Amino acid sequence: MRRAASRPGIHRVACVYRLDGRAILTAILMASERSMILVVGNTKGGVGKTTLAINLAIARALSGRDVLLVDGDEQGTAISFTELRTEQLGAAGYTAVALHGAALRTQTRQLAPKYSDVVIDVGGRDTGSLRAALTVADTLLIPVQPRSFDLWAIDNIAALVKEAREINERLRAIIILNAADAQGSDNDAAAESLGEADGLEYLPLPVGRRKAFPNAAALGRSVLEQSPRDQKAVQELAALTKAVFV
Ligand SMILES: Nc1ncnc2c1ncn2[C@@H]1O[C@H](COP(=O)(O)OP(=O)(O)O)[C@@H](O)[C@H]1O
Ligand SMILES: [Mg+2]
């Protein structure tokens, strides 16, 4: 883990310090900005939550951010992946912890200021961990596969988001298609029905069904670190990272 002094927010303060009082105030506000907490969640299993959580965490870590990956799923896939990654690469490049239930909320609150980004992977059910995560998150990313059973589960997560907003009113909730078909009308039909989801924002940045994701994960890597690179997977991940971490 890098020291706080090298974090980008702190660095910006040093750059504008010699300007006027307003610039200094702006800089202090920027430096004290909270870290961004992203939850990748859906009450549905097998939609690509863990896959996207690890790829997003690594994408941010590779761009120099100090990342905390929280595994909120009892199955512990994100932790197992991190262990494999550490074996394969010598170091994960981010910090990973397993937290569940109420501890996920309290510990994430405590740990978040020490990191620039926090990515939380939660299980595929309506669990205490998912609810706890939604109360501390800035953004919920909901991966959905363009198939009817997955689309029906959206009402479920929309209800949880609505409930979480009673405590956490600034929660941004975005849906994307994951493992989207290369062709066919399913994607368009899914996008149209997702566009109507209550209180959720549909982001038209689908991630395709690409072998690069499981292949890279099996080697403890993100699609960004795979060789040869799947350029489409890399581009889709880059576009998603940019849209999610604002
Ligand atoms: N975009 C994708 N393209 C191809 N396979 C994917 C993609 N996203 C996820 N998968 C695969 O789908 C399966 C379920 O993904 P996972 O991330 O474990 O889902 P969840 O965490 O929601 O249960 C895994 O085998 C994973 O490799
Ligand atoms: Mg998972």
Residues 176-231 have pLDDT tens digits of 999 998 776 777 777 787 777 789 999 999 999 999 999 999 999 999 999 999 99
Taking only the tens place, the pLDDT of each residue in 63-109 is 999 999 999 999 999 999 999 999 999 999 999 999 999 999 999 99
Domain with CATH 3.40.50.300 in the chain: 34-244
What pLDDT is attached to residue 6?
38
How many Cβ atoms sit within 10 Å of the Cβ of residue 89? Answer: 13
Say if residues 178 and 52 touch (Cβ distance below 8 Å): yes
Q: Furthest-apart CA pair in the chain: how many Å?
A: 58
Q: How far is the CA of 101 from the centre of ligand 1 (A)?
A: 24
Judged on CB neighbours under 10 Å (0-12, 13-18, 19+), 159 is middle
Using CB distances shorter than 6 Å, the residues near ligand 1 are 45-51, 124, 178-179, 207, 209-210, 213-214, 217
Class of domain 34-244: alpha beta
Tokens of 56: 């997003």
The pTM for the full model equals 0.87
C-alpha triplet 228, 240, 164: angle, nearest 5°: 140
SS3 of 205, please? coil
DSSP secondary structure of 20-87: -HHHHHHHHHHHTPPPEEEEE--SSSSSSHHHHHHHHHHHHHHTT--EEEEEE-TT-HHHHHHHHHHH
